[in-house]
């Protein structure tokens, strides 16, 4: 009979590896969304894009279904991510408004 302690240790190691990968993937995602926020700010575009969010939710719904992941969890997780991204985009836009690159400040 297999040793439950060893099995538990092995499973926890897999979970730890997945958690590490998730953290690095989220960090990369937020770096990309910060670039999007800077581009939006410099182009005077709104922080949120409801059409894009709807497209993403539809795409993620299909991915979650295909992966066997709970749809409600996926929606909640995506809503949390989008909320954080929009808050970050607003902060970037506020910072951009106070910089010399802002065309409104450079009008003479």
pTM, rounded to two decimals: 0.80
Q: How many CB atoms lie within 10 A of CB 49?
A: 16
pLDDT greater than 90 at residue 103:
no
Q: Which domains does the chain have, with CATH numbers?
A: 4-97 (1.20.59.10)
pLDDT confidence tier of residue 107, bands split at 50, 70 and 90: very low
pLDDT greater than 80 at residue 1:
no
Q: Each residue of 45-98: pLDDT tens digit?
A: 999 999 999 999 999 999 999 999 999 999 999 999 999 999 999 999 998 876
């Amino acid at each position: 009979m297999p040793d439950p302690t060893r099995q538990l240790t092995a499973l926890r190691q897999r979970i730890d590896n997945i958690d590490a990968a998730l953290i690095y993937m989220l960090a990369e995602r937020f770096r990309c969304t910060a670039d999007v926020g800077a581009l939006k700010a410099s182009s005077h575009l709104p922080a949120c894009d409801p059409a894009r969010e709807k497209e993403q939710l539809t795409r993620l719904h299909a991915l979650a279904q295909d992966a066997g992941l709970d749809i409600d969890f996926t929606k909640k997780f995506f809503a949390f991510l989008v909320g954080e991204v929009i808050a970050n985009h607003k902060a970037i836009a506020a910072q951009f408004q106070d910089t010399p690159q802002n065309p409104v400040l450079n009008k003479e």
